[in-house]
Structure 1
Amino acid sequence: MKYKNAQDILPDHLLRELQQYVSGETMYVPNRGKEKKSWGEASGARDFYQKRNAENHILSYEIRTRKGEMP
């Protein structure tokens, strides 16, 4: 999330309107619903953990079958 100065982005009339509610504080503006990404999509964490978990599942299965724990 990047910090941007509202004065550099918003028209004066909108900035004055916002200042009636919040002034001199940091404010978070969420993405529109359609633009929202699911957890880990932007950072790649979702793919990383899915791949890691799949590899661990396969490894665990192989270890258990070698020990005779699974038919």
Structure 2
Amino acid sequence: MKKALGMLMAMGMLASSLGGCSYGAIAVAGDKVVVLRQDAFLFGALRKAFVCRVADTGLSSCAANEAP
């Protein structure tokens, strides 16, 4: 049982380190927000930038790789 639990924990840690993403930076410019997403897969090769408008309900009209 201990071996199976150890294997399950090791597989969970490996999966989270390979497939996770995080939001690394957020910057505000006027009525727009720039959100940078950093991906842990392939040492950050799939990084993206999103430009969104700020509304009363939250972020709207998000576009990828657009200049603010």
TM-score, normalized by length of structure 1? Answer: 0.30
* Larger relative strand fraction: 2
Of structures 1 and 2, the larger Rg is shown by 1
* Larger relative helix fraction: 1
TM-score, normalized by length of structure 2? Answer: 0.31
